[in-house]
Structure 1
Amino acid sequence: MAEHLVPPGPDSLHPLTLESLEAIEKRIAEKKAKKPNDEEKTCKYEDELKPSRDLEEGKPLPRLYDIPAGLVSTALEDLDPYYSDEKTFIVINNKKLIYRFNAAPAFYLLTPFHPIRRLSFKVLVHSYPFSNV
């Protein structure tokens, strides 16, 4: 199956919201609800989606995608279709490097929208402290 990237442009990057997180959880529940039979498992490998090489963690965002200044170091919906039914999101730093995080609550109470966790994303993706180490 061919990999499909989100169409590049100003509308391709969306901030992670509570509604988008609920939509991801709904897709996960739908996927679990229609578990394949043993017969379908053998055919599954032909249609299995693979992660996009252009959107791997640690690589720069492809030039086709334009990131507005307001979305730098903030939680964004994952662009890679492979992760569409997994509870992940991306954060892009000022050098346009991609960082992928888990959207599950940290320590069972810090959601991705909690101020402490949002601050930790900004610290982790900031290029200055970790580039010199």
Structure 2
Amino acid sequence: MMRGEPASAAAPSHEGAPREPEEPEEPVQLFRPFTRESLAAQEARIAEDAARKALIAQRIEEGIPAGDDYVHHSRDHKDADPDLEAGGPLPKRIINDFPPELIATPIEDIDKFYENKRTFVVVSKSKDIFRFSSTNALFLLSPFNPVRRLAICILVHPLFSFFVIVTILVNCVLMTMPSNDKIEQTE
């Protein structure tokens, strides 16, 4: 310590000195609502990935080795997790972590393979996974459009599946009935 310096300017001693309370880091949630910020982050990851691929292609074209970045990036998330495929149930390992308030609500994709793809996920009441594109539907309806959200909510509702199955069964029964003249005249 130099002569004119106060004692606090000396190197901090860890013995007996009061420490600042560290705020606990929030754990990264697996299930996060799909928001406009999520979509912007998704687009940024896609742009970053495209820039990285362009840089690697340029290096290869110039004869420069692609480097470790290419090797590590090409190995990450090569295939989609078969437990998290669309139409299947949530895996047992994460089903208890799913918050009930996010049922039938668009959430960020839970499969790391789709991290750089334009997708989001909706989980139904029966804990089935539905995957949707985050691009505009019909070139008009963004993922945040109320009409599209209503259509998604109807699609993932269990009564919709029940209605479709009943319609198919009624059609099968009607097709097996013998035809008569009145029915033939209406066709």
The corresponding residue for 2:75 is 47
Q: Does the C-alpha gap of structure 1 residues 97 and 10 become closer, same or farther in structure 2, counting only changes over 3 Å?
A: farther
Mapped contact 1:87–1:102 kept (Cα < 8 A):
yes
Cα-to-partner distance string for 1:42-62 (whole Å, 9 max, x where unaligned): 968962511001101111001
Gaps of 5+ in 1: 1-8
Q: Which has the higher contact order (CA 8 A, sep 6+)?
A: 1
The alignment of Structure 1 onto Structure 2 pairs a total of residues equal to 124
Q: Which amino acid aligns with 1:14?
A: R
The more displaced of 104-113 and 61-70 is 61-70
1:4 aligned partner: none
The residue number in structure 1 matching 2:46 is 28
RMSD of aligned residue pairs (Cα, Å): 2.4
Which residue of structure 2 lines up, in the alignment, with residue 129 of structure 1? 160
Aligned structure 1 segments of 4 or more residues deviating by more than 4 angstroms: 42-46
Higher helix residue share: 2
Contact 1:93 1:125 in 2 (8 A): yes
The amino acid across from 1:47 in the alignment is R
Whose radius of gyration is greater, 1 or 2? 2
TM-score between the two structures when normalised by the length of structure 1:
0.82
Q: What's the counterpart of residue 11 of structure 1?
A: 29
| Alpha-carbon distance in 2 for matches of 1:16, 1:107 | 20
TM score, norm. by length of structure 2:
0.60
